[in-house]
């Protein structure tokens, strides 16, 4: 796949993979900012700002933004995480100029006071509703406890109090600081002409400001340790998460970490599947590696009936200890690599998948990785690589968080969660 990249004088990066056989094109602006880049009084501003991008610009009302997406057969799409805020769309090739224009326009929103006040109510309601998703709330609790004083502890949604107190001027200041051109990547994949895209981006984005961007705290983090029990009565299941350190996104160890996580926690045929799911002890079990900027994390989790928590936690601790001591078998490694190859290939079948894939790789490492390179990187993982990863990031050195109706877990009394 041909790949091109360029940087505008103001620092905006444009990257793109073209695929002449594709029938559509996916485009996205990756703003390298998220909850971890917020100060405490700003908590929730990244996500709130993402909403505000759709509330109008000097050139378009909120209604016009929706209408314009609609007219090219697309919809307003965006997401905010701890590290990134992303605005994207996939369209037929003929609408590439139009979608570039709309997306670039909404990245300079008006942030009108009246819209800000109205949207704040929407966000507050979203935070309230979020409490009905115990799985997500459990993860939020877990991250907060694990990361403690590290900025990756920050909540994407923020709290009712922080969002309530947020002012339009704070959002404007955050916007100016974090939505600077040199903190943004425009990524494209599919059927389009890179030079044309570059021309459109130059036209639409050259007026964007440049600022001192980056992140202050990117240290690795091995967690708080210990067992933390948060009791919430109206939840049906107990959610248990065992978090351990992992390689940062820039590390080549990420491939070994990903592979081990799949061998350990895939939804069929994994260690945890045989230990917890096949015998019917737990309702779900999972292991995943999340690459973060500066500090990765390995999360082993399960859900079960509250009464079964202690027994299951004992099993999981035993599994983690065994894996830490003996690693995985050659067969497990082979099976995990087969599964990953299938996922990499299938994940790259659509321009949308590729657009996000190349942007994420570029944002974290400044590298372009095509599907073949990514396949080769996983294929190259050896038993020695997995061993080296475990030695560097012991998976049994966990910070454990239980969230749910259990009043105590393994003798530790719960506090209200």
Work out whether 75 is an interface residue with a second copy (CB under 8 A): yes
Q: Which of residues 263-282 bind a second copy (CB under 8 A)?
A: 267-269
Work out whether 230 is an interface residue with a second copy (CB under 8 A): no
Work out whether 335 is an interface residue with a second copy (CB under 8 A): yes
Region of 66-74, 155-163, 211-219, 355-363 interacting with a second copy (CB under 8 A): 66-74
For the CB of residue 190, give the shortest distance to a second copy in the complex, in Å. 9
For the CB of residue 343, give the shortest distance to a second copy in the complex, in Å. 7
Nearer to a second copy, 71 or 407 (CB): 71
Work out whether 24 is an interface residue with a second copy (CB under 8 A): yes
Work out whether 357 is an interface residue with a second copy (CB under 8 A): no
Region of 27-35, 84-92, 194-202, 226-234 interacting with a second copy (CB under 8 A): 84-92
Work out whether 378 is an interface residue with a second copy (CB under 8 A): no
For the CB of residue 16, give the shortest distance to a second copy in the complex, in Å. 18
C-alpha–C-alpha distance, residues 343 and 335, integer Å: 13
Kindly tell me which residue out of 350, 369, 387, 397 binds a second copy, with binding defined by CB under 8 A: 350
Work out whether 345 is an interface residue with a second copy (CB under 8 A): yes
Nearer to a second copy, 88 or 208 (CB): 88
Kindly tell me which residue out of 61, 67, 159, 167 binds a second copy, with binding defined by CB under 8 A: 67
For the CB of residue 155, give the shortest distance to a second copy in the complex, in Å. 26
Nearer to a second copy, 269 or 306 (CB): 269
Kindly tell me which residue out of 213, 222, 227, 341 binds a second copy, with binding defined by CB under 8 A: 341
Work out whether 346 is an interface residue with a second copy (CB under 8 A): yes
**Site residue total, a second copy (CB under 8 A):** 33
**3-class secondary structure for the chain?**
CCEEEEECCCCCEEEEEECCCCCCEEEEEEECCCHHHCCHHHCCHHHHHHHHHHHECCCCEHHHHHHHHHHCCCCCEEEECCCCEEEEEEECHHHHHHHHHHHHHHCCCCCCHHHHHHHHHHHHHHHHHHCCCHHHHHHHHHHHHHHCCCHHHCCCCCCHHHHHHCCHHHHHHHHHHHCCHHHEEEEEEECCCHHHHHHHHHHHHCCCCCCCCCCCCCCCCCCCCEEEEEECCCCCCEEEEEEEEECCCCCCCHHHHHHHHHHHHCCCCCHHHHHHHCCCCCCEEEEEEECCCCCEEEEEEEEECHHHHHHHHHHHHHHHHHHHHHCCCHHHHHHHHHHHHHHHHHHCCCHHHHHHHHHHHHHHHCCCCCHHHHHHHHHCCCHHHHHHHHHHCCCCCCEEEEEECCCEECCEECEEC
Region of 158-166, 177-185, 318-326, 339-347 interacting with a second copy (CB under 8 A): 339-347
Work out whether 1 is an interface residue with a second copy (CB under 8 A): no
Binding site for a second copy (CB under 8 A): 21-24, 66-67, 69-75, 90-92, 267-269, 335, 338-343, 345-346, 348-351, 371
């Amino acid at each position: 796949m041909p790949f091109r990249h360029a940087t505008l004088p103001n620092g905006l990066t444009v990257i793109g993979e073209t695929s002449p056989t594709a029938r559509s094109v996916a485009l996205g602006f990756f703003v390298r900012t998220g909850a971890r880049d917020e100060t405490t009084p700003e908590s929730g501003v990244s996500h709130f700002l993402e909403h505000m991008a759709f509330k109008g610009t000097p050139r378009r009302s909120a209604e016009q933004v929706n209408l314009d997406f609609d007219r090219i057969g697309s919809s307003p799409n965006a997401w905010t995480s701890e590290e990134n805020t992303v605005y994207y769309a996939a369209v037929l090739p003929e609408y590439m100029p139009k979608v570039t224009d709309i997306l670039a326009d909404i990245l300079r929103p008006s942030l009108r006071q009246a819209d800000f006040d109205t949207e704040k109510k929407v966000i507050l309601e979203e935070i309230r509703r979020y409490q009905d998703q115990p799985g997500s709330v459990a993860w939020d609790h877990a991250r907060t406890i694990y990361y403690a004083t590290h900025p990756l502890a920050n909540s994407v949604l923020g709290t009712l109090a922080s969002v309530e107190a947020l002012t339009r001027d704070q959002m404007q200041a955050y916007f100016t600081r974090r939505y600077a051109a040199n903190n943004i990547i425009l990524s494209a994949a599919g059927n389009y002409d890179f030079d044309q895209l570059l021309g459109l981006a130059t036209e639409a984005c050259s007026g964007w400001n440049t600022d001192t961007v980056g992140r202050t705290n990117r240290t690795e983090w091995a967690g708080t340790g210990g067992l933390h029990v948060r009791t919430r009565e109206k939840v049906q299941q107990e959610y248990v998460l065992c978090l351990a350190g992992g390689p940062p996104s820039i590390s080549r160890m990420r491939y070994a970490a990903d592979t081990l996580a799949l061998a350990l926690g895939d939804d069929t045929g994994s260690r945890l599947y045989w230990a917890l799911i096949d015998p019917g002890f737990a309702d779900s079990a999972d292991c995943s590696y999340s690459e973060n900027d500066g500090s990765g994390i390995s999360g082993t989790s399960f859900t079960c009936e509250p009464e079964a928590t202690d027994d299951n936690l004992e099993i999981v601790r035993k599994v983690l200890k065994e894996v830490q001591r003996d690693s995985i078998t050659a067969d497990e490694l082979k099976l995990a690599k087969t599964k990953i190859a299938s996922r990499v290939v299938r994940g790259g079948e659509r321009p949308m998948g590729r657009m996000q894939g190349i942007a994420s790789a570029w944002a974290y490492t400044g590298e372009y990785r095509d599907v073949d390179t990514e396949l080769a990187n996983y294929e190259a993982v050896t038993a020695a690589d997995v061993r080296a990863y475990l030695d560097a990031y012991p998976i049994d050195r966990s910070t454990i968080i239980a969230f749910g109706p259990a009043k105590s877990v393994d003798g530790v009394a719960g506090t209200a969660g």
